[in-house]
Amino acid sequence: MTDMVRCRACGYIAKESSIKKVCPACGLPETVFEPYQDKISKNRQLILGLNLHPISVHFPQALAILIPIMLAASWLPIENLSFQLLISARLLIVILPFSVVGALLAGLIDGKTRFKKLTTPYLLKKIIVGSVFLILSTVMAILMFVEDFEPDSFYLVFAMSVGCAICAVILGKIGGKIVSAKVNG
């Protein structure tokens, strides 16, 4: 069994043999490390080690931030650039709901694995905000096919894209609070 250590200052956990002179996370001297015994089962460690949710969540967050920026930039009076930005934003809008579904599914697997239940206060908030994100992104994609960037629908799509970006930020903030938390066992 590998000897594990934890940084008392920042909570970083690593194999004792991988620690050099300082904590790689916070930079404090190696004297801040204390022995650590991971109480997570091997199967749960394997699933958590895949990092399914952290990997899958960044794609829809990036799209959610990029889409309103591209839509706003399409208002610039540069005709060819505006057209290219609208076409690109349209493609991203169509992809967004699929990436949100992937992130939600990975989040449910990660939450169930990490906390053994999905009813913790932060997970419930993430499920609600993630559901709003999915609804907004899906309605936005449907509008793309039905309205095709008519002036009225353009403003609605832009507003929904800002709503998606806000959901992405909220999900990131909540996720940042629980990123290293997990229930023993």
If pLDDT is split at 50, 70 and 90, which confidence band does 19 have?
confident
What are 132-147's pLDDT values in tens digits? 999 999 999 998 878 7
In-domain check, residue 62:
yes
Residue range of the domain that includes 115? 44-178
Residues 32 and 51 in one domain: no
Of residues 149 and 80, more confidence is placed in 80
Please report, for residues 23, 66, 169, 180, the alpha-carbon distance to residue 96 in angstroms, rounded to integers and kept in the order given: 38, 11, 15, 27
How long a stretch of residues is the chain? Answer: 185
- Work out the number of other CB atoms within 10 angstroms of the CB of residue 168: 24
Average pLDDT over residues 94-98: 96
Residues 70 and 132 in one domain: yes
For the cut 60, the answer to whether the pLDDT of residue 93 exceeds it is yes
Residues 60 and 17 in one domain: no
What are 56-76's pLDDT values in tens digits? 888 899 999 999 999 999 988
In-domain check, residue 76:
yes
In-domain check, residue 108:
yes
Please report, for residues 3, 36, 48, 71, 87, the alpha-carbon distance to residue 17 in angstroms, rounded to integers and kept in the order given: 8, 13, 22, 50, 51
Residues 103 and 17 in one domain: no
Residues 88 and 155 in one domain: yes
Domains in the chain, number: 2
Number of H helices, E strands in the chain: 5, 3
In-domain check, residue 183:
no
Residues 51 and 130 in one domain: yes
In-domain check, residue 153:
yes
Residues 105 and 168 in one domain: yes
In-domain check, residue 185:
no
Residue-level pLDDT at 2: 61
Residues 172 and 114 in one domain: yes
Average pLDDT over residues 67-94: 91
Residue-level pLDDT at 182: 58
Residues 71 and 19 in one domain: no
Give CA–CA dist 64/168, Å, rounded: 7
Give CA–CA dist 157/133, Å, rounded: 13
Residues 29 and 94 in one domain: no
For the cut 80, the answer to whether the pLDDT of residue 171 exceeds it is yes
Residues 80 and 162 in one domain: yes
Residues 99 and 166 in one domain: yes
Of residues 168 and 38, more confidence is placed in 168
Residue-level pLDDT at 185: 47
